[in-house]
Amino acid sequence: MSNEHATGLEHALAATPDCVPIARFAGTLTDREREHLEICARCQSELALWSEFEQSHPAADEGVTVSWIVAELARVNQPQELMSGGAPRTSFAWLSAPMWRWGAAFATVALVTTGVYLLQDREPTPRELSSAPQTYRTVQLEIRGPVGDLTAAPGAIDWVAPEGAVGYDVEVFEVDRTPVWRTTSSNSHVELPAAVVRQFVPGKAILWEVRARNAANRVIAESGTQRFRVVVAGSSPKG
């Protein structure tokens, strides 16, 4: 659009002293007002907008919203009129029943603005992350036995108690991870039941593991999977 056209459009839509106030569209126009309306593009646009809102039907809760807006605007405006020496009056009488949509628009803007403010105000403050370590690393549990090839079936499992340990989980199983026996202990030594020892037949490999726990029940040391085997009579142990 050229500057000349833009200037012409701005001039055509500019308000003049003869323009019809928008509140007048709610009543009967005078002959002079109707004549002006026929030649004024600005008044024609305002009349079209007025007609669109007048034909709209208010929602059930819009009446209360608009009434509140009118009352608040009148309350804010009243002190200024009193200071100027004029009689208190409401400058928003044009917000009548056919204009519910204007009130709904104002209410929507107010609610959105308030909602954004509340969301920003209630945004949680990021908490400072603690510099203290939050994970526990396990250490290798020092074992005493049984391990390797043995000449006789062992009757106990032994290990060295690490610092801070208050309990232990002990598991014995076959090479395919089939459980043989498990227990818990507060000592760094457990006796194996006779029924378990009888399963340590010559040539059969047996595995076992021990996990040490602290007072918070966290694993702080592990033996890893240990292996032993009772050798067949006449063969030499491999230590």
pLDDT higher than threshold 60 for residue 136? no
DSSP symbols for 170-207: EEEEETT--EEEEEEESSSEEEPPHHHHTT--TT-EEE
Structural domain including 86 reads 3-115
In a domain, 168, yes or no: yes
- Cis (ω within 30 of 0) for the bond into 162? no
In a domain, 214, yes or no: yes
Span 216-228, pLDDT tens digits: 999 999 999 999 9
Whether residue 146 is found in the same domain as residue 104: no
Whether residue 97 is found in the same domain as residue 33: yes
Which run of H or E residues covers position 36?
Answer: helix 31-39
Residue of 148 and 233 predicted with greater confidence: 148
Phi, psi at 115, each rounded to 5°:
-65, -45
Whether residue 45 is found in the same domain as residue 147: no
Whether residue 16 is found in the same domain as residue 68: yes
Whether residue 104 is found in the same domain as residue 181: no
Res 31: pLDDT: 87
Phi, psi at 59, each rounded to 5°:
-75, 165
Span 20-49, pLDDT tens digits: 887 777 778 898 888 887 888 888 887 888
Whether residue 147 is found in the same domain as residue 85: no
Span 152-181, pLDDT tens digits: 999 999 999 999 999 999 999 999 999 999
Span 57-112, pLDDT tens digits: 555 555 666 667 667 666 655 655 455 555 555 444 444 444 555 555 555 555 54
CATH number of the domain within which 146 lies: 2.60.40.2550
- How many Cβ atoms from other residues are within 10 Å of residue 54's Cβ? 15
Whether residue 99 is found in the same domain as residue 158: no
In a domain, 236, yes or no: no
In a domain, 39, yes or no: yes
Whether residue 50 is found in the same domain as residue 109: yes
Q: Are strands 219-222 and 139-140 parallel, antiparallel or unpaired?
A: parallel
Whether residue 22 is found in the same domain as residue 80: yes
In a domain, 187, yes or no: yes
Q: For residue 16, which of 31, 37, 2 has the smallest C-alpha distance?
A: 37
In a domain, 122, yes or no: no
Residue of 41 and 53 predicted with greater confidence: 41
Core vs surface per residue 173-183: b (16+ CB within 10 A) or e: beeeeeebbee
Whether residue 168 is found in the same domain as residue 211: yes
Cα separation, 163 vs 124, in Å, equals 41
In a domain, 129, yes or no: no
Can you give the pTM of this predicted structure? 0.43
Whether residue 44 is found in the same domain as residue 82: yes
Whether residue 150 is found in the same domain as residue 48: no
In a domain, 130, yes or no: no
Counting the structural domains of the chain, the total is 2
